[in-house]
């Protein structure tokens, strides 16, 4: 939500977002989960589509459960 606020309608200057995440924290686990889900979405909706076989069963279950 805070990132979205940084991007204003008509914004012409680049926006840089820095996420400060403590190691071995819940934030880090949530961030990793977000990255994993984004990788799956990117794989499904790009021309360079990634094969599902590159995700092991545990990764797929983790994405579905969360």
The model's pTM: 0.53
Output the average pLDDT for the chain.
Answer: 80
Of 2, 36, 30, residue with least CA distance to 17: 2
Judged by DSSP in three states, 42 sits in: helix
User: Residue 11: enclosing H or E segment and its boundaries?
Assistant: none
pLDDT in tens, 13-41: 888 888 899 999 999 999 999 998 898 88
pLDDT band at 51 (very low <50, low <70, confident <90, very high): low
pLDDT band at 7 (very low <50, low <70, confident <90, very high): confident
Q: Is 21 within 8 Å of 31 (Cβ atoms)?
A: yes
């Amino acid at each position: 939500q805070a990132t979205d606020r940084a991007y204003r309608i008509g914004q012409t200057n680049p926006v840089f977002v820095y996420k400060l995440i403590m190691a071995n924290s819940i934030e880090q686990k949530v961030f990793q989960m977000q990255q994993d889900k984004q990788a799956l979405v990117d794989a499904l909706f790009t021309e360079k589509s990634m094969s599902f076989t590159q995700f092991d069963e545990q990764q797929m279950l983790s994405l579905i459960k969360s």
